[in-house]
A and B are shown apart, each in its own frame.
Chain A
Amino acid sequence: MDACMAFEDVVYHYPDAAGPALNHLTVSVPKGLKTAVLGHNGSGKSTFFLHAVGVLRPQHGRVLLEGAALGYSRKELAALRRSVGLVLQDPEQQLILGTPLEDASFGLRAAGMNEGDIRSRCMEVLEQLGLADLRDQPIHQLSLGQKKRVSLAGVLAMRPELILLDEPTSYLDPLSEVQLLTGLDIARSQGATLVMATHDMNLAYRWADWIIVLDHGACRIAGRPDEIFAAGGTRLPAGLAMPLLADIWYSLPRQYISGRPAPRDSEQMIQRLAELLAENSTPGHSGGNMKSEEEEQD
């Protein structure tokens, strides 16, 4: 699996902190996949992202984008921020201009694109995110969900290869979450690699193709969701709960679920359970992997 971005033995220690925020972190972000970064508060998720966009510089180790180590000159950073976009947790931090249309165009104008292309690209992104009607509204008057989508629009308009999202769904109501995830799906369909930091284990399980679990600034575990959650919560750091669907699925007896892909959403779960019930209730069914534990003991 090709790595879009890789951290090699990265150490970062904030001046006023007791321990390192990143502690010899070595991890890769697979290209073209949707990756969820999980970890409790203070596990280093935001610091990881700030290193990925060159806002913070490793005190030890290096960060690679497409196999090349990041450079930190002004020119290199400008180029980096055109290919890697970061949506911060608090949208207020990254909304700069007065209206969604103006704000979405900020990065493109800084990159020197012509005004005609800027407008058409920004309008396209605002429409994709359901913000076209709000394009000329003052930013200050938008709701949090709308502001989060505007901050995502500013990043999507740049069409970066890698999009990092720091807890994008926190404080959002279900409708705003769906709208935001729809925007991400569009970016994914255009070939972007997505990385989302989240505390929401259910969302991570449902959404991600790849999961990275950070613990005290180091990578505790990385892999496909079914690999990580198949062992129950034993491989997770303290404080991270199993996603509900995975918890139910992997609580079923092994002989029932072996060979079946784990359900990723409630519809798939219902389908799998229906299949299991149907197989189990077939008259004259030989049993096979559907034998109850009692029968096995007999």
Chain B
Amino acid sequence: MPSGCGRAGANGAEPMLRRIDALSCRNALRPLPPLWKSLFTAVMFILSYMVHPALQLIICLWMMYWCTHHARIPRRAYGLLFGTALFFFALSLPPLLVELGRPADGEAILHLPLSGQLQLYITAEGLCRAGLLLTRVMACLSCSLFLILTTPFGELLQVLHRLRLPQIVLELMLVMYRFLFLLSDTAHGLLLARRLRGGGRRITLRETAGMGGALLAGTMRRYRGFAQGLAVRGYTGEIALPPAEPRVLPRGLALRAGAGILLLLLAQLWLLQA
């Protein structure tokens, strides 16, 4: 790979971790103070838990607008991340929706007789519960994505440092985050080597075990190298994080955020009274 042509964007199958990292560094809301973005997210997160499901959907759409319009995150990338996270919610739907047993009269809106009186059935209550959970998940997810996609990890650590999270926890988070990329590179190298040596789409159990072992060995080697690198760089038992740079919050954005929160609160009050 020639110099200047970084890994990002070098191929279409860019790992999601790298994609998030790249977006968080190259979005239009990056220059905003990370503490403000964190506080805004925290407020929206709390609202997502408290407000009416209809407002939760509005929160979701509003936070999406912040990401795709204000932060200029590509819609496709955002949709992919949002959809992937929702896929995990979809996986948890069967236990939420489907019940096994004998439903009371009129309780089941859909049912599948099994044997005797035993049935698989879905109730209106289960459907409602899943729907409520979905709106809450969507609202919370959009809030999380706003912070993750607009603020680089290093700046989030600065916020946590300012909130007086213990230094050891921050160091662990920093090293773990750095190590995720090393792990991802090692795994990527192993998979590439397998493909280049004629490995097909199907991976046998033996191959998986072999690759798992190689991944562990490679990761341990990288861990030792990283520890050595820390010592060489003058690590004295504490990784001093760079301080947060002073940044200006544009008044227009602050007003929009404040107005939006106020409207949500008023709408919630109105819905409670109605």
Contact = CB atoms under 8 A, between A and B. Distances in A.
Interface of A: 50, 53, 55, 74, 78, 81-82, 86, 88, 90, 92-99, 102, 105-107, 109-111, 115, 136-138, 140-146, 154, 158, 172-173, 175-176, 179
25 contacts: A88-B228, A92-B182, A94-B229, A94-B232, A96-B178, A96-B229, A96-B239, A98-B154, A102-B242, A106-B233, A106-B234, A106-B240, A109-B242, A110-B234, A115-B243, A137-B6, A138-B21, A140-B8, A141-B21, A142-B6, A143-B1, A145-B4, A146-B4, A175-B3, A179-B3
A96 B234 contact: no
A143 B25 contact: no
Contacts of B61: none
Most A-side CB within 10 Å, residue of B18, B25, B233 = B233
Interface in B1-59: 1-8, 18, 21-22, 25
A43 to B, nearest CB: 19
A286 B18 CA distance: 72
A146 B228 contact: no
A111 B236 CA distance: 9
Interface string B232-256: 1111101111110000000000000
Contacts of B18: 140-141
B6 A78 contact: no
A96 B2 contact: no
B230 interface: yes
Given A88-B225, A106-B233, A172-B3, 16 more contacts: A53-B232, A78-B236, A93-B226, A93-B228, A97-B174, A98-B153, A102-B242, A110-B234, A110-B240, A137-B6, A138-B22, A141-B7, A141-B18, A142-B6, A143-B1, A176-B3
A298 B242 CA distance: 78
B232 A88 contact: yes
Nearest to A103: B233
B163 to A, nearest CB: 19
A55 B154 contact: no
Nearest to B17: A140
A110 B242 CA distance: 10
Interface in B205-234: 222, 225-226, 228-234
B225 A140 contact: no
Contacts of A107: 233-234
Given A109-B240, A141-B18, A141-B22, A93 B154 contact: no
A74 B239 CA distance: 16
A102 B154 contact: yes
Most A-side CB within 10 Å, residue of B2, B174, B235, B240 = B240
B256 to A, nearest CB: 26
A154 B181 contact: no
A98 B152 contact: yes
A92 B222 contact: yes
A105 B242 contact: yes
A143 B234 contact: no
Contacts of B185: 92
B234 A78 contact: yes
Nearest to B182: A92
Contacts of B21: 138, 140-141
Contact of A93 (B25, B153, B229): B229
Given A88-B228, A146-B4, A96 B240 contact: no
A207 B233 CA distance: 26
Given A96-B178, A141-B8, A55 B242 contact: no
Most A-side CB within 10 Å, residue of B25, B174, B234 = B234
Nearest to B177: A98
Interface string B173-191: 0100010011001000000
Contacts of A144: 1, 3
Contacts of B232: 53, 55, 81, 86, 88, 94
B182 to A, nearest CB: 6
A189 B46 CA distance: 58
Contacts of A173: 2-3
Contacts of A96: 174, 178, 229-230, 233, 239
A111 B238 CA distance: 11
Nearest to A109: B240
A95 B232 CA distance: 11
Given A137-B25, A143-B3, A110 B228 contact: no
Nearest 8 Cβ contacts at the A-B interface: A94-B229, A145-B3, A98-B154, A93-B229, A93-B225, A109-B240, A81-B234, A141-B8
A143 B2 contact: yes
Nearest to A82: B234
A74 B155 CA distance: 30
A190 B222 CA distance: 33
A62 to B, nearest CB: 20
A147 B36 CA distance: 32
A207 B185 CA distance: 33
B128 to A, nearest CB: 43
Contacts of A154: 233
Nearest to A101: B242
Nearest to B22: A141
